[in-house]
Structure 1
Amino acid sequence: MSDPSDVPARLSVSAEAARNLATATVTPPQWDEITPRWLHLLLPWVDVDGGVYRVNRVKQNTQGITVDLLTVDDGEPELPRDYIDYEQDPREYHLSTIQTVLQTHTRITDLYSNAIDQLREQVRLTVEAVKEREEYELVNHPSFGLLNSVIPSQRIQTRKGPPTPDDLDELISLVWKKPAFFLAHPKAITAFGREATRRGVPPPTVTLFGSPFITWRGIPLIPSDKLPIQDGTTSILLLRVGEKQRGVVGLQKAGVAGEIEPGLSVRYMGTNKHSIASHLVTRYFSLAKLGEDALASLDGVSLGNYHEYVYPTA
């Protein structure tokens, strides 16, 4: 029999930590890095069979689609004949996977689950970490992430650095067919609020999911800390969403074994000779942009501009 001291450290939560959770508090463990993840809530999600989602597009040239049409006011002219061709090699989106193995010692779950279910809390926090990683990938993934899915013609730069109402209006002009929401780092949203207030047009608010969001032209600005900040600048995205709107959609595979919610599963893998139980946590997901004009980006958004207000004295 092998020496238990050969077991690598930190394979499971420690007994002391579990005992403190069970006897010294009645609250579940708090994790400050958990965010609301509004992007996941606002994206329409499509169930993908076979793990592949194909986006079929119409073939077009730089002038767009040209169909020979005739407007007739009188007479019986010969009608034009035409057809619309399709791309022969449409893009396919394959579901990505986020996985980890959660390990818990059976002694911990047996002895210290009187007030709080130790396994349930371990699973909950692991799932939260998976969801945080998912939102990061939805924004930053090199293949399908939002930031890397914007075509050059849908990218604009700020006029002077700070995000102004004029800049967001330009962004709306690029995604004018049913824009759904802006997506921005919280610091970018506050920077826009400063610029709008400076110009005497403080943005109104709207309540979604029980929380207030500022808006511009009726479009909410949704915060996400997954948009990167580099050298004091970031980007603001504008999305159209939904399959019927030819917008951005989330992709997932529902109905997998051990599913606790669509596309997310927790499966028991067994208990080893050191009494450590393992659970496989898996999330299948991706993101697809159905129309090139469904996504636009305002780049070079400066976050450090502040204004001094001088008030007249009596």
Structure 2
Amino acid sequence: MVDEVERRTLSESAARQLANATKTRAQWGGITPRWLVNFLTWTPVEAGIFRRNEVREAGEGRPADVECSPPRDANPDLPETYVDYVDTPREYFLKAVTTVLDVQTRVSDLYSQPFDQVQEQLRLLIEKVKERQESELINNAEYGLLASAAPSQRIRTRKGPPTPDDLDELLTKVWKEPGFFLAHPRAIAAFGRECTRRGVPPPTVTLFGAPFLTWRGVPLVPSDKVKIDGSNGSETTSILLIRTGEKKQGVVGLFQPGVPGEVAPSLSVRFMGINRKAIASYLISLYCSLAVLTDDALAVLEGVEIGRYPEYAHDYA
């Protein structure tokens, strides 16, 4: 009787040692569409300064509005008037979002296949800088949207999720060609649930190749940079309504083209040298700001609760 020959095969784990793995670039889940940057109108500035000239409103000791006078003779006296300007208009200065990349030259020399280590690090840090830019455009205490809304353009919602009535109230504040609502994705979801509960589900529109909910034809643009306040045992946020463009006296983003080392508008990457420890350094800078040209270009709905709908169902029964 012949003994059976023991059969052995190369294991998969051993075979993988000789196989090439197909690699991806480093994936970072923190990258967002940054819709605010796309929806804003951007105005180039010179020397990093933007001056917002404005008309002085009519009042005591100031020129009157235009009047209509019926002719009393062949040579009627015409009312004399003029438009006065604010003596000290506000000036906006571009602010920098910066970071420094340090790379050990030994790492970049030896481990740059199939992906260049320096370029990959720069790519990811540029994404982080752009994410910070959107956050600053919304939350910066000096020029951000939330800080720039005039007191007369701020309203508060009643307790509960955002309702169609709340967004209609925002539209009364920015009724001259409103451009878009801006809200945290959870606030938009809460609004959608409330609309569906009332039997008026909001339609959608496709912009920049992506679908957006709309209200009264105005898109609701999501940004996770709109902050959520978790104090007092409930989570609240804000919803903004924005008119954009200099021609419409709206909100404009500010940037300066042609900065040294520019790789994108107002974004530069500059090599800073190699130190004695063989560390190569690169400076990444993004210069930007934002201006609200007239008060009625921006309104904010505050105190929006974004808990799950069942938690508030009893309030609207």
The TM tier, using the shorter chain, reads 0.7 to 0.9
Matches within 5 A, 1:53-92: 53-60=50-57, 66-70=64-68, 72=70, 76=74, 77-92=76-91
Aligned to 1:238: 241
Q: Residue by residue, what CA displacement relative to the aligned partner does 1:165-207 show, whole Å, maximum 9, x if unpaired? A: 1110110111011100000000100010011111111000011
Question: What TM-score does the superposition give when structure 1 sets the normalisation length?
Answer: 0.87
Matches within 5 A, 1:27-176: 27-60=24-57, 66-70=64-68, 72=70, 76=74, 77-176=76-175
Select the structure of larger CA radius of gyration. 2
Q: Quick one: distance in 2 between partners of 1:131 and 1:304?
A: 29
- The answer to whether the Cα contact below 8 Å between 1:154 and 1:296 also exists between their aligned partners in 2 is yes
Aligned to 2:11: none
Letter in 2 for 1:27: T
Q: Quick one: distance in 2 between partners of 1:25 and 1:227?
A: 38
Closer, same or farther in 2 for the Cα pair 1:24/1:167, shift >3 Å?
same
| Structure 2 unaligned residues grouped into runs of 5+ | 1-19
The size of the alignment, in residue pairs, is: 287
Q: Quick one: distance in 2 between partners of 1:285 and 1:85?
A: 30
Q: Is residue 252 of structure 2 the alignment partner of residue 249 of structure 1?
A: yes
Q: Is residue 184 of structure 2 the alignment partner of residue 181 of structure 1?
A: no
Q: Residue by residue, what CA displacement relative to the aligned partner does 1:200-224 show, whole Å, maximum 9, x if unpaired? A: 1100001112111100011000001
Q: Is residue 217 of structure 2 the alignment partner of residue 215 of structure 1?
A: no
* Structure 2 counterpart SS, 1:49: coil
Matches within 5 A, 1:21-32: 25-32=22-29
- Identity of paired residues, percent? 58
Q: Quick one: distance in 1 between partners of 2:86 and 2:98?
A: 34
Closer, same or farther in 2 for the Cα pair 1:127/1:196, shift >3 Å?
same
| Structure 1 unaligned residues grouped into runs of 5+ | 1-22, 310-314
Aligned to 1:272: 275
- The answer to whether the Cα contact below 8 Å between 1:95 and 1:286 also exists between their aligned partners in 2 is yes
- The answer to whether the Cα contact below 8 Å between 2:63 and 2:82 also exists between their aligned partners in 1 is no
Please state how far the C-alpha of 1:305 moved relative to its aligned partner: 4.8
Question: What TM-score does the superposition give when structure 2 sets the normalisation length?
Answer: 0.86
Superposition RMSD on alpha carbons, in Å?
2.0
* Structure 1 counterpart SS, 2:169: helix
- The answer to whether the Cα contact below 8 Å between 1:26 and 1:116 also exists between their aligned partners in 2 is no
Q: Quick one: distance in 1 between partners of 2:79 and 2:71?
A: 15
**Residue 262 of structure 1 is aligned with which of 265, 274, 285?**
265
Structure 1 runs (4+) greater than 3 angstroms displaced: 61-66, 71-77
- The answer to whether the Cα contact below 8 Å between 1:189 and 1:221 also exists between their aligned partners in 2 is yes
Please state how far the C-alpha of 1:34 moved relative to its aligned partner: 1.2
Please state how far the C-alpha of 1:159 moved relative to its aligned partner: 3.2
* Structure 2 counterpart SS, 1:193: helix
